């Protein structure tokens, strides 16, 4: 796998607006050995999904990663024995779960991307703070 070109987020800035072009990995089944073998130890954002009782894959967790990299944080966040959040642990134990990720080499860009995705995908939750650098953030998958 060429980590230089696969699953990397790019951006374009115009005045006070930023456009992020996010290249997500496919959804892979959660398996600590596959994660260790295939996920890069680089900064980025990952999502965790579960398959509900009718077979629909649903997002239930997103996280920005800097220190430790995607590999170690996806392993930690998807292991029910490592997770302290009871609701997430219950989902991980009950359902088939999946993950996807994108690499982002700027800490501030990761704040902005997670903020924008949180507003879109988890509208009932308060979004994490953005970097404050841009008036408007646009995301394209």
Q: What totals of helices (H) and strands (E) does the chain contain, helices first?
A: 4, 7
Q: Residue 74 burial (CB < 10 Å; 0-12/13-18/19+)?
A: buried
Query: What pLDDT is recorded for position 68?
Result: 86
Predicted pLDDT at 122: 79
How many other C-beta atoms can be found within 10 angstroms of the C-beta atom of residue 66? 14
CA 120 to chain centre: 13
- Which strand ranges, in their side-by-side order, compose the sheet holding 44-51? 28-29, 97-103, 44-51, 57-65
pLDDT computed for residue 2 by the predictor: 44
The whole-number pLDDT of residue 5 equals: 59
Q: Helical H runs in 24-85? A: 32-38, 69-77
CA distance between the termini of the chain = 20
pLDDT of residue 132: 95
| Averages of pLDDT over each 10 residues, the chain, 141 residues | 70 96 96 93 96 94 93 96 94 97 96 94 87 95 87
Report residue 77: phi and psi, to 5°: -70, -20
pLDDT given at position 14 = 95
């Amino acid at each position: 796998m060429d980590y230089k070109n696969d699953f990397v987020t790019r951006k374009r800035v115009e005045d006070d607006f930023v456009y992020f072009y996010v290249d997500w990995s496919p959804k892979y089944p959660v398996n600590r050995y596959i994660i260790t073998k295939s996920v890069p130890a680089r900064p980025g954002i990952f999502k965790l999904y579960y398959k509900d009782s009718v077979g629909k894959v649903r997002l239930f967790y997103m996280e920005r990663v800097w220190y430790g990299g995607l590999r170690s944080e996806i392993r930690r966040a998807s292991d029910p024995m490592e997770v302290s959040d009871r609701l997430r642990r219950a989902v991980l134990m009950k359902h088939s779960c999946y993950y996807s990720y994108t690499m982002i080499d700027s800490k501030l860009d990761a704040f902005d991307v997670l903020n924008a995705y949180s507003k879109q995908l988890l509208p009932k939750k308060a979004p994490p703070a953005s970097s404050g650098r841009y008036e408007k953030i646009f995301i394209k998958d």
